[in-house]
């Protein structure tokens, strides 16, 4: 009785670990069009 329960738990754990590998998003745009404005606002907030 314990073996099927353990096997089911291990299968669920391995499936969830493998599924997290698919949870990656697309690469962010390295050229942020709002970066100059964000830097000015950060500089004002930092002072």
- Sequence length of the chain is 47
Tell me the average pLDDT across 8-24.
85
pLDDT tens figures, 17-44: 888 876 667 777 778 889 999 999 999 9
- Contact predicate 32/38, CB 8 Å: yes
pTM of the model: 0.42
For residues 21, 25, 26, 30, the Cα torsion angle rounded to the nearest 10 degrees is: -110
């Amino acid at each position: 009785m314990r073996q099927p329960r353990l096997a089911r738990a291990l299968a669920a754990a391995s499936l969830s670990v493998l599924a997290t590998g698919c949870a990656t998003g697309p690469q962010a745009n390295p050229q942020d069009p709002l970066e100059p404005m964000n830097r000015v606002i950060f500089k004002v907030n930092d002072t």
